[in-house]
Amino acid sequence: MTQENLNKQIIITAILLIAVVLFFQFTNWDMSLQSYFYNFEGKSWIVDRKDSILKYIFYDGFKKLFKIFSILILILVVISLFKKINIIEQYKKGLVILLLSMILVPALTVSIKGVTNMPCPNNLAEYGGRYPDVRIFDSYPKDFIQKSKIKCWPAGHASMGFSLMALFFLFKKPRNQKIALGIALVLAWMTGGYKMSIGDHFLSHTLISMILGWLIILLIVKSISFLDFKRYIVRE
């Protein structure tokens, strides 16, 4: 990706992020879609969060695999800093981008979750909870008593999967880049879909995590490219 294309991608992604946030703020799409995941007669979600097999596949197991993969990438990056191995050297920049993305995308997403205080679907009165439908730019009613902040927006669990979109920059061939990006998106949306089906997230939560994750990754790539350019100037 050229610097010009990278700059365009950053601007387009930032605009898209703002547009999507505003779209879900002023429409009822989240509630309309989420209702398909809820059985109003039985007052339950279509997937039982107590189902240990599904929970392990889409939550606990995925987190463990993500941690193992993160450690593996960290080891490869550390090796590349102290020893030149041809095959690792070819992917060194991509590995650094991937490692930083796997750290920063979930970390920044979770940091945002800590301050937004937006309820999850299962918190809402419409789905058996006690919270009003408060969106990202809304305030809670004055007579509503809240014991503690809710950390729900954007989707934190899916952000781990979306951080893997950085695999795109590990490869040079467009075909391999597309395959890597596709795998990352499938993994992330599988976990995001699971969280929607148990009432933990709206569609917008996961969609915004995806766009935010891609923006963070692009900024990481931009930063590394800038540092590479500075080193080149110094050598000259």
Contact 143, 137 (CB under 8 A): no
Q: Where are the domains positioned within the chain?
A: 3-29+51-134+149-235
What residues does 124 pair with on adjacent strands?
A: 131
Q: How far apart are CA 56 and CA 49, in angstroms?
A: 10
**Max Cα separation, the chain?**
72
- Reading the chain (236 residues) residue by residue, the pLDDT tens digits are 788 899 999 999 999 999 999 999 999 999 999 999 999 999 999 999 999 999 999 999 999 999 999 999 999 999 988 888 888 888 999 999 999 999 999 999 999 998 999 999 999 999 999 999 999 999 999 999 888 889 899 999 999 999 999 999 999 999 999 999 999 999 999 999 999 999 999 999 999 999 999 999 999 999 998 766 445 433 43
Sign of the four-CA dihedral 105, 107, 110, 116 = negative
Q: Is 128 left (phi over 0), alpha (psi -120 to 50) or beta?
A: left
CA dihedral 51, 56, 59, 65 (to 10 degrees): -170
